[in-house]
Structures are given as structure tokens and as C-alpha cells.
Structure 1
Amino acid sequence: MMRSTSIIVLALLFAYTGALPQDRIINGNDAAVGQIPFQVGLTLSDSLENWWCGGSIISTNWVLTAAHCTDGAVYAIVYLGATDRTKPEKVLYVTNSNFIQHEEYARKPHIINDISLIKIPQITYTKNIQKVAIPKISASYSSYAGNIATSSGWGITEENTNVLPTNLQYVHLKIITNSLCNETYHSTLVNKGSLCTATPQATTTCEGDSGGPLVDLASGKLIGINSFVSGNGCEAGDPAGFVRVTAYLNWIRQNSGVVGV
């Protein structure tokens, strides 16, 4: 039977002071230098408050992230080529005129269409700065259920803190069916634009991981954007929620020109 479970989106609000020390996503692993070269860090601001999110490089000019990350922001600082969050290879500043937020994004009563593009000045790829491929249109009908995928980010490593880890974290998660996910959440939240993963042994994403990548381990393609976890808490064992990238391939192409490979 479906339970009506509240959710929390995963952007992390904080007073930005530069480095925020700590050590490990919850129960994840330290990424090696260059292991996840498409991962970006984002500091976003509405001029009064700052918040932290992740994102993915999908071309030399575009970063893909969550709409609840860009929503209300007047600018973003984009950190590229970092494993140690305090030592990025490149830092870019962009204003919200470079944000393309899904026109039907909404946060209430349930978060939907939680996807945004950020246009960045053209970058040159290096060993530590690379794009991640998105799937072809022909993959749109794949549920990915049962596949293992990798989520990564600098989100908090334990609940009830706003301390971000220094080193990029990653975790392998098993994708579950939307119908199984809906045993926890509401069908208006988990729909054809959603993808969920199991979170065994409190191994999961958490605040600060918003907008970051979920990459199918078999194909190496970006299939999810980190979006929400249960309002019961990151470590409650409830499924983690992502935007299903294959549901937005046409939107991505129309707004950025980036196509799947």
C-alpha cells in the first residue's frame, strides 16, 4: 500500500565561507582524482543566501543540474575539474541569464520537471574536465530497473549537519521500478520523468548532492539528476529520487543542441 511520504530536495543552504572541511554522499567512497571528470560543484546565490549543488558537464558549453538548484538564484559559481572541492582546476562565474530552467518546473505540491541547463563559457577538456554522454532517443523506453548506477557529489556525509566533505564522494546504487518507488511516494511525484534507487544500509545521497549525476554503470551514460530523498531522512532506507534524463532528451536538445550518443 502506498504511504504518503514527504520529501526533501537536496540543495544545501549555507553561509559560504570558502572551505567547509569534513571527510565523505552518506556511507560512500572517496573518488580518485579524475575518476568523475564530468562532475561539477555549484555555489548558487540569491544575493542574500548561498546554497550548494552539483551538476554534470554535457558539452563544452553546458552543465545539466536540477531546477530547484537554479530556482531563485541570481548567479552561480561553477567549479570544474575538482576532486578536492577546495582545489578546482577551473572556476567560472555565470549569471541567471545563462540558466534555462524547465518551463513547467514546480516545487509544490510535488516537485516536477526538476531540470535545468546552465550555459558556461566554452571550456577545453582536460584529463580532469570531461563531458558525460547522455543516452540516445532510442533509449527512452528503458526503465533501467535492476541496473547499478553511480551517484556522486559533495553532499553531507551525515545528517543534522551542514558540513560538506572535502573529497568528492560516490556510491553505487541499484535502480528500482517506479511502481516500487511509489509504495513510498505519491504517483504525482514519481512519474515518467522520475527514476528511483534503493538505499540499503543507509547508503544514499543527501543534502548538497542535488543536481549531481547518476550514471549507468554498464553504458557510462548520464541517466539521472539528483533530486530528492524522503522527508523521513536520508538514512531512513526510503528510495532516493532522480530526474529521469531519458524523459527530457528532446528538451535538452532543443535548449542546448546536445544530443545523445
Structure 2
Amino acid sequence: MKLFVFLALVALATAIPAPEQKKEKLTPVAFKDIQGRITNGYPAYEGKVPYVVGLSFSGNGNWWCGGSIIGNTWVLTAAHCTNAASGVTINYGASIRNQPQYTHWVGSGDIIQHHHYNSGNLHNDISLIRTPHVDFWHLVNKVELPSMNDRYQDYAGWWAVASGWGTTYDGSSLPDWLQAVDVQIMSQGDCSQWWSLHENMICINTAGGKSTCSGDSGGPLVTHEGNRLVGVTSFGSGNGCQSGAPAVFSRVTGYLDWIRDNTGISY
């Protein structure tokens, strides 16, 4: 998964510095090219996560990210994925990464990057993509956002699924099949022992090497209970996806007003 864009071959990737890591002094990086991966996950059966899309960006080079369908004409992803993009091909309904059900291309004029995105520390790492209308069916469908009533829910201890395309362990070759991993959301306090967090960040426990990785960026973190999109993959540790450091996402509940104001979507 690209950043859900995370770590692959460090020498080949362009690194974006992320928030300072506190305890083990690991170098925090997010990668702008090279496909990413879900580590220690499992192949997602066809239709398990119909809301995930693959995003092939062009601009100063080409790079891959994930994203989530949130409406018939909207995809949510990470701002570090859209930054400096001239256009993007959206791949819908794929289990095999290069075999989507169909694709749409949109230009930079249909990308709405958060106005306070900071590429230095990845604060407000979230973007919207306006798309041509897509009809929903069992292989292509939206994921619902948290309700406005849940804007202060921290989801600590909740189980969620992350999904995307990429290698299954540090240094492996890329699998063709969409991968998923079940992970537990951490409290802000526990994650802050590793990272200096913005208030609109949310973390997962990566015990056992279960994590998002390079190429997963922008992809979804969706709760088991209620199937709500609560995170957008943002960054992880420069020591590798299996290092044990928490993986960090943009917290969707922190951006419900912004999403509503730009798309009209709210619950």
C-alpha cells in the first residue's frame, strides 16, 4: 500500500519528515513513491473492502497511494499523496492491483488538499478528490464516516481493519492481491510516548509486526464495530514497518466539518 504509502527500499524512496519520535529516536519518514505494503496481514477476499481505491498519481514523477470512497463523487486520501500532483488515475474495485473493475482520471483541479497541510510535520495530512459519478455495487461501495456525535470519540482499544496493496514484510516483493490487517487503536497518551502528535492524529498498535507500510499512504482505517472510516494512513517509522513503533493516521473525526463543507457529506 503507498503510504497505506509507507516504507520500501529506503534508497529508492523520497522521504518526507514526520513528527519527532520521542523514545527510540527512530527516524520518522513517509515515502512519496515506491509501492507500500501491509505487513503480516492476510489476502482480502473479493468485496471485503469495496471502499478502497488505488491511486496512481502523476506530477514530478509517478507514485502510488490508497484512498477511500466516501460518496458517489468523492474519495478521501492523504495530503502527502496529492501534494504536487498534476493528476491521478483512480482504480476501483480491484483485488489484483493492476486489474481494477474500471478507472477514472481526474486533474489537479479536482483535488482539494487541506488548507493547513504541513509537509514538514504531516499535520492535517488529508485531501479530497472529486470524481466522476460511480454507482455502488458489491465490489465498489462507499464507507461511512463517523457521525458528528462521535467527533470526540478517541476509539482507544477499538479494533479496526487497514487495507492496501504492497509487500507483506520489510524487503519482500509486492503481492498482486489486496491485503488487509486487523489492528487495535491506541490511546493518544500511549502513542505520545513514541511520537509528538497533532491532536488530529490517531495511532495503531503494531505488535507482532502487523502494520501499514510504504504504498499504503492515504488508505483506510475502518472500525470493526459500525464500519466507520476513522483514519487515513499518514506515516510510520524509518526503522521499518515491523519495528514495533505505532503507525499514525489522520484522525477523520477531526475533519468532519471540513469534509462536510467541501462535499456536503455528514452523518
Structure 2 counterpart of 1:39, which letter? Answer: V
- Runs of 4+ with >6 A deviation: none
- For 1:215-230, list aligned pairs within 5 A: 215-230=222-237
Query: 1: distance between equivalents of 2:183 and 2:31?
Result: 17
Look up the match of 2:217.
210
TM-score by length of 2: 0.88
- CA distance, structure 2, for counterparts of residue 97 and residue 38 of structure 1: 23
Q: Which residue of 1 aligns with 2:34?
A: 13
Q: Alpha carbon RMSD of aligned pairs, Å?
A: 1.7
Counterparts of 1:177 and 1:143, CA distance in 2: 7
Whole-Å separation in 1 of the counterparts to 2:81 and 2:135:
25
Residue 52 of structure 1 aligns with an amino acid whose one-letter code is W
Question: Does residue 120 in structure 1 map to residue 115 in structure 2?
Answer: no
Q: Per-residue deviation at 1:159?
A: 2.2
Q: Which runs of 5+ in 1 are unaligned?
A: 15-23
**Are the aligned partners of 1:37 and 1:131 in contact in 2 as well (CA < 8 Å)?**
yes
2:113 is equivalent to residue 101 of structure 1? yes
Q: Check conservation: 1:66, 1:225, Cα contact below 8 A.
A: yes
Q: Where does structure 2 lack aligned partners over 5 or more consecutive residues?
A: 1-20
Per-residue CA distance 1:83-138 (angstroms, 9 max, x = gap)? 11121111011111100000010111x11000000000011112200000001111
Partner of 1:41: 54
TM score, norm. by length of structure 1: 0.90
Change (3 A) 1:123 1:61: same
- Identity in percent: 41
- What is the aligned length? 246
Aligned to 2:244: 237
- CA deviations 1:42-81 (Å, max 9, x no partner) are 00011x4111100000000000000000001101000001
Report what 2:140 is aligned to: 129
What is the distance in 1 between the residues matched to 2:193 and 2:241? 17
Partner of 1:75: 87
The alpha-carbon distance between structure 1 residues 73 and 227, as it changes in their structure 2 partners (threshold 3 A), is: same
In structure 2, the partner of 1:178 is 188
C-alpha contact 1:227 1:242 (8 A) present in aligned 2: yes
3-state SS, counterpart of residue 58 of structure 1: strand
1:32 aligns with 2:39: no
The CA distance in 2 between the partners of 1:256 and 1:155, in whole Å, is 30
